[in-house]
Amino acid sequence: MKVLIIILLLSLLSIVLPSNAQEIERSEIGIIYKRERSLNLDLNTDGWGFGYRIGFFKTGYVKRSLDINFSFIRDPKEVKVYNSGYATSKSYVYGKERKMYSLKVLYGKQKDISNKPYWGGVDIRWLNLFGFNLAIGKPIYLYVDDQTNDGVISLERYDKVKHDPYNIVGRGPYVNGLDELEIFPGITFKTAINVEYGSSPEKTKAIEAGVMFNGYIYPYNIMAYSEPSYFDVVFYVSFQFGKRYNN
C-alpha cells in the first residue's frame, strides 16, 4: 500500500509540474462559485479513511477549506494468524495491542496553480491545512486457553507477557474494550496537490495526493513490541466528489 501511494503521488507531481505554464486566463473560466463541498475516500500509507470538505472561495484563485476526516490506522507489521490447535480459532494479529483510529479537523488554504477553461479540462491546486488530530485507541481482547485452570477458555485483554501464539485461541468480540478507550490528542499539518477534472463547473471530481505530518502530546503504539512514537509521517491519495454553489 505504501509503495502504491508513493508511486501515485510521484505520477501526479509529474503531471502537475509541467502544467504551470499552461495557465488559462480567468476571463475564460465563466461563473465563479463561492462555496464548495465534497466527500472523499482516502488511501493512506498507514490505513484508509473518509472525510468531508467545505470550501469558501476568497477570490477566483484562492479558497479556504475546512477538512473533517476519520481514518482507520494500521501498523505495517500487522499479519493475521490462526491457532491451528483449535477448530474454532478465529484469526487475530499477534502482538497487536490496540486498534487505532484518528479524527482530524483541519483548516487552511488552497491556491490555484493552473486553471481549466470553462468547457472542461484539468484544474490544479496546491493546498496547506493545519489543525487538530485526535487519535483513539481501543484495547484488543482475545480468547485465551488458561492452561493453569483445566484449559478454560477465557476472554482477556491482550498482554504481551502472559499471552503467546500457543495459548491464544482467537480474537474476541469487537465491543470488548469500548469502555477502555485511550485518547492521544495532537496536531496535523497537511500539504498536497489537488487535481480536478471533468467538464461540469458545478460538480467536482478530483484526485489529491500529498503528505501529512502528525504530532501527539502522548506517544502511542499499535504493536506491543514497537516503541511508542510522538510523531509520524503519512502519504496519502484521496478521491473526491462534490459540488459548487452560491447559496
- What's the pTM? 0.82
pLDDT in tens, 143-184: 998 777 676 889 999 999 999 988 899 999 999 999 999 999
Q: Which helix (H) or strand (E) holds 36?
A: strand 35-44
Distance between CA atoms of residues 225 and 97, nearest Å: 9
Q: Is residue 82 part of a domain?
A: no
* Structural domain range at position 121: 2-76+97-137+176-220+227-245
Residue 213 has pLDDT above 50, yes or no: yes
Is the pLDDT higher at 233 or at 119? 233
Kindly state the DSSP code that residue 62 receives in the 8-state scheme: E
How many domains does the chain divide into?
A: 1
Q: Is residue 22 part of a domain?
A: yes
Three-state secondary-structure class, residue 20: helix
Q: Is residue 88 part of a domain?
A: no
Q: Which helix (H) or strand (E) holds 142?
A: strand 141-146
CATH number, domain containing residue 183? 2.40.160.20
pLDDT in tens, 6-50: 555 555 554 444 444 344 334 344 566 788 899 999 999 999 999
Q: Is residue 187 part of a domain?
A: yes
Q: Is residue 234 part of a domain?
A: yes
Q: Which residues contact 168 (CB under 8 A, 6 or more apart)?
A: 83, 92, 94, 142, 143, 144, 145
Q: Is residue 83 part of a domain?
A: no
Alpha helices in 70-205 (DSSP H): none
Distance between CA atoms of residues 90 and 82, nearest Å: 6
**In the structure grid, which three cell numbers stand for residue 124, read together?**
490544479
Strand order of the β-sheet with 152-157 is 152-157, 141-146, 168-171
Q: Is residue 240 part of a domain?
A: yes
Candidates 192, 45, 31, 47; CA nearest to 108 is 192
